Amino acid sequence: MIDQSTEHHNEHVYLDYNATTPVSEIVRKHVMESLENWGNPSSIHWYGRGPKNLLRDSRARVGHMIGAESPLEVVFTSGGSESNSLAVVGTFEAMTRNQNPRNIYIRSAVEHPSVIKAFNSIEEKGAVVKVIPVSRTGEIDLVRYRELLTPEVALVSVMFANNETGAIFPIKKMSKLAHDEGALFHTDSVQGLGKVPLKVEHLGVDLASFSAHKFYALKGCGVLYVKRGTILEPQIYGGGQERGRRGGTENLMGIVSLAITDGLLKHSDEYCGKVLSLRIYLEEKVLKDIPNVEVIAKDAKRLPNTSCFILDRVSGETLLMNLDLKGFSVSTGSACSSGNPEPSAALLAMGIKHSEAQSTLRVSLGWLTSKSEIDRFVKTLAQVVTRLRQIDDEAMAEYGI
Amino acid sequence: MEYKGRVLVAMSGGVDSSVAALLLKEQGYDVVGVTMQVWDYSECDIEEGAGTCCSSIDVDDARAVADKLKFPFYVLNCEDKFHAKVITPFLNDYIHGRTPSPCVNCNTYLKFDHLIRKMRELECDYLATGHYAQILKNEAGRNVIVASFDDWKDQTYFLFTIERNIIDRILFPIGHMKKEVVRALAIEHGLINARKKDSTGICFVGNGDYANFVKANVDADLLKPGLIRKYPDGEALGPHSGIHGFTYGQRKGLGLNHHEPLFVLKIDPVTHTVWVGEEKHLYTSEFETAECNLLDQIVPGENIKVRIRHHHPGAGAKLFPTEKGFRVRFDEPQRAITPGQAAVFYRENQLLGGGWIV
């Protein structure tokens, strides 16, 4: 179970669960135990057998968690970014090697940088890249998507849910449309795991990316689900691990940490219901207590834990620092670009203005979030926003604006 | 310990601002550290970033110091503002035959404007920097800026644009100390950058090669070749590839083979002519300033001290108001009074203000 006690150890309120999550108590315990199995799973001798079995068991549990038909469809990687790179570049290279005439690659406009940069990379190597627009309301343009789907399309990659706005995309439907044209379908489902019911078989995708640390397990472990029969060129060569699809001695500790979360996943409905009611409470309170605030993609189908606010005339960067000084951890733009306040490319791609994107605040709740934390957070947020707007008013007056 | 209020400390990652933060922390201030990221270092390799002010390694050093001293630390992205207010005028000065002093603009628009705003936004009572300068009370009980105790390190030359009304909010915690003492404190407290080399020159021009920096960052057609002529007869001594490669008083690197030593006397941005001649012609007594800022009253004709570049010891002078600023008249002629540099005014050690040499 999630360790509820951490909340009391720490005065800081953590509201940035889309960036990462605390390691759950049960994961901690099992990971420590797994360190006894320090042998190399590939070794033939006695030391290899324990780890090998642990790896096999973990693969089965993870396969079951994500709804794979077979554990062999689970490829362990170092995380979501590697999984995304392997899916996109690995597919392109396999297609090229097999002289497959399909050469169009489609992604959405709001993908994670690891997907966008993988697409840029294959584009430089000759792939034709097409982008599906996403509206300000968080809707993906299915009309345009249908137009883009032709018999030349090799792969479509659309995220399950957006990390910044929480908007969920109709993957099952989009995957079906891709398959009707004979294209492969990949979904970056890093933000989906544990937040909404998510089974790859149900979605009908060929490839799906996951990350352990977004769901109360360790950093440094991810999964690429590779549906049986899908061919990928490995991006890391090695000693034949992961059936030749990803070389390198396995990160058994990380893999075990992810497998252990299958126990948490059983409580997902209950916790996510709680998280959703807190999120509804948060948004109602923010919109009531603070003037000139917008919730991005408010009416879209969204993850139950994510709110992305635009707070007019407030710099997200300054707001984040103020909140941090008062003990609240939130994010602006994307956590991957922390320290770099360039506005998020995904938000800009949704037609959100540069100035608006710089005024965004992402709040992402988790299983440990409590109502009293939300109350304290909104109270502080309202005070800080009022003060920053006052300073802005004064500065404007000084410049005679 | 008495609570002194919250202070925003501008940290470059160097030893001076780190010790400034250390001292404030010890004095009982609630310290918040910030580093302004002013230049995109992602394109630089490690060697290039090392040792210059505010490179990414310096940001990491500042963060490490904050972590060690246990206060919050943030990186502020100021690239756009830095480009507009520091780099662009810097390039523009070179194109127009002036020798810029970009540290002044960085202080004017970044440290003592942008950070003053951040100070207010982050509910800080003060803004502190690691400048070698002091704030002391004058006889009337008013805070004034005074040259640092370590006169070799004194940086008040770069601070003349500070607005009078913010002096009460500024702290210079190391201004009363010698550099060696600052460094010894850093070593004593085990700060990661205690033995780091002093940054010299201009932070965004890595190896001090200004001409190449200008060449790399402006349109080629703005850098026109021209002639080097000898003053006063006008004899053409040879071509040059652009006036941005020259500065007043320069002797080396003129590419001339002449029987007597020649110095750059004047740069004419209209005809792209670089005038050279004997050193004696470099000495002048009077010049004009513009865009002046005054931190205290100066009576016209009062005997004050004026410095015309960093490390210029200062010389006796009188000021006379003009439409654009002041005419400065030195008691003795001074060498290479250079357009683009600042003329900074002092009474004894007190900073009175200054203006730009035109």
pLDDT in tens, A265-274: 999 999 999 9
Q: How confident is the model at residue B11 (pLDDT cuts 50, 70, 90)?
A: very high
DSSP string, B71-120: --EEEEE-HHHHIIIIIHHHHHHHHTT----HHHHIIIIIIIIIHHHHHH
Q: Give the residue among B285, B216, B221, B208 at the shortest CA–CA distance from B247.
A: B208
Percent of chain B at pLDDT exceeding 90: 81
pLDDT at B314 over 80: yes
User: How many structural domains is chain B composed of?
Assistant: 3
Q: B233 and B298, same structural domain?
A: no
Pairs of CB atoms within 8 A across A/B: 29
| Span B109-147, pLDDT tens digits | 999 999 999 999 999 999 999 999 999 999 999 999 999
Nearest chain A Cα to B35, which residue?
Answer: A339
Contacts of B197 (CB under 8 A, 6+ apart): B51
Question: How does the average pLDDT of chain A come out, rounded?
Answer: 94
- Does B48 share its domain with B182? yes
Mean pLDDT (chain B) is: 92
pLDDT of residue A46: 96
Say what percent of chain A tops pLDDT 90: 91
What CATH number did the domain enclosing B295 receive? 2.40.30.10
C-alpha dist (Å) from residue A80 to A20, A112, A188, A227, B189? 12, 10, 8, 17, 41
ipTM of the modeled complex: 0.86
The amino acid at residue A366 is: G
φ/ψ of A103, rounded to 5, equals: -140, 15
| HSE-up of residue B234 (Cα within 13 Å, Cβ side) | 0
Distance CA(B338)–CA(A394), nearest Å, equals 39
Using an 8 Å CB-CB cutoff, list chain B residues near A388: 121
Regarding whether B286 and B263 lie in a shared domain, the answer is: no
Global confidence as pTM? 0.90
Q: With CA atoms as reference, report the closest residue to A242 among A229, A256, A261, A223.
A: A223
Asked whether the beta carbons of A302 and A138 are under 8 A apart, the reply is yes
Residue B245: per-residue pLDDT: 92
pLDDT at A400: 66
B90 and B17 share one domain? yes
Q: Does B213 map to a domain?
A: no
Position A9 pLDDT exceeds 50: no
Helix (H, G, I), strand (E, B) or coil at A132: strand
Q: Is the pLDDT assigned to residue B302 strictly greater than 50?
A: yes
Q: How far apart are CA B20 and CA B148, in angstroms?
A: 14
Q: Over range A283-296, report the average pLDDT.
A: 98
A365, A21 in Cβ contact below 8 A?
Answer: no
Domain end among B188, B207, B241: B188
Active-site residue, B78 included: no
What is the SS3 string spanning A351-375? CCCHHHHCCEEEEECCCCCCHHHHH
Pairing between β-strand B315-321 and β-strand B236-240 as defined by DSSP bridges: unpaired
Q: Do A391 and B122 touch (CB under 8 A)?
A: no
The arithmetic mean of pLDDT across residues B32-44, rounded, is: 77
The verdict on B160 and B268 lying in the same domain is no
Q: Are residues B78 and B172 in the same domain?
A: yes
Taking only Cα atoms into account, the Rg of chain B, rounded to an integer number of angstroms, comes to: 21
Identify the H or E element spanning A80.
Answer: helix A80-97
Query: Is residue B21 domain-shared with residue B46, that is, in the same domain?
Result: yes
Among the partner-chain residues B32, B76, B121, the one whose CB lies closest to the CB of A388 is B121
Report whether B76 contacts A317 (CB < 8 A).
yes
Domain-located, residue B203: no
Q: Residue A260 pLDDT more than 80?
A: yes
For residues B23, B28, B29, B30, the Cα torsion angle rounded to the nearest 10 degrees is 120
Inter-chain contact B77–A324, Cβ cutoff 8 Å? no
- Expressed as residue numbers, the domain containing B108 is 5-188
Question: Last residue of a domain, which of B216, B244, B277?
Answer: B277
Shortest CA distance to A335 belongs to which of A110, A19, A84, A17?
A19
Whether residue B25 is contained in a domain is answered as: yes
Chain A interface, Cβ < 8 Å to B? 317-318, 321-322, 324-325, 339-342, 387-388, 391, 395
pLDDT of residue B49: 41
Average pLDDT over every residue of B296-324: 95
Contact A387 B123 (CB under 8 A): yes
Question: In this predicted model, what pLDDT tens digit does every residue of A189-239 receive, in sequence order?
Answer: 999 999 999 999 999 999 999 999 999 999 999 999 999 999 999 999 999
Phi/psi region, residue A199 (left: phi>0; alpha: psi -120 to 50; beta: rest), is: beta
Distance CA A281, CA A255 (A): 36
* B137 belongs to a structural domain: yes
CATH number for the domain harbouring residue B96: 3.40.50.620
CATH of residue B228's domain is: 2.30.30.280
Nearest CB to A325 within list B32, B37, B76: B32
Domain shared by B175 and B238, yes or no: no
CB B41 within 8 A of CB B157: no
**Binary contact (B32, A317; C-beta < 8 A):** no
Same domain, B145 and B239: no
Q: Which class for B155: exposed (0-12), middle (13-18), buried (19 or more C-beta within 10 A)?
A: buried
**Residue B173 forms part of a structural domain:** yes
For the cut 60, the answer to whether the pLDDT of residue A4 exceeds it is no
Nearest-CB residue to A322 (from B77, B117, B122): B122
Do B32 and B172 share a domain, yes or no? yes
Distances (CA, A) of B252 to A314, B276, B324: 52, 12, 34
Query: Starting from the edge strand earliest in sequence, which strands make up the sheet with B170-171, in order?
Result: B73-77, B30-37, B6-10, B126-128, B170-171
> Within a 10 A sphere around the Cβ of B220, how many other Cβ atoms?
8
On whether both B184 and B41 belong to a single domain, the answer is yes
User: Which of A374, A390, A373, A388 lies closest to A319 in space, CA to CA?
Assistant: A388
Hey, of A317, A386, A398, which one would you mutate to test binding to chain B, going by the most B CBs within 10 A of its CB?
A317
Residue B306 included in any domain = yes
Mutation site for A-interface testing, chosen from B121, B125, B163, B165 by largest number of A Cβ within 10 Å: B121
Partner A contacted by B76 (CB < 8 A): yes
With a CB-CB cutoff of 8 Å, which residues 30-69 of chain B face chain A?
A: 32, 37
Cis peptide before A41 (omega within 30 of 0): no
The pLDDT of residue A10 is 54
Q: Locate B78 and state its tokens.
A: 């100021």
**Residue in A322, A324, A341 nearest the CB of B121:** A322
Question: What pLDDT shows up at residue A341?
Answer: 57
Q: Using an 8 Å Cβ cutoff, are A129 and A156 in contact?
A: no
B207 within some domain: no
Q: What pLDDT shows up at residue A337?
A: 41
One domain for residues B299 and B165 = no
| B23 CA: distance to closest CA in chain A (Å) | 21
Last residue of a domain, one of B245, B277, B309: B277
Reply yes or no on whether A336 is catalytic.
yes
Residue from the list A325, A340, A342 with its beta carbon closest to the beta carbon of B122: A325
Query: Could you tell me if residue B215 is inside a domain?
Result: no
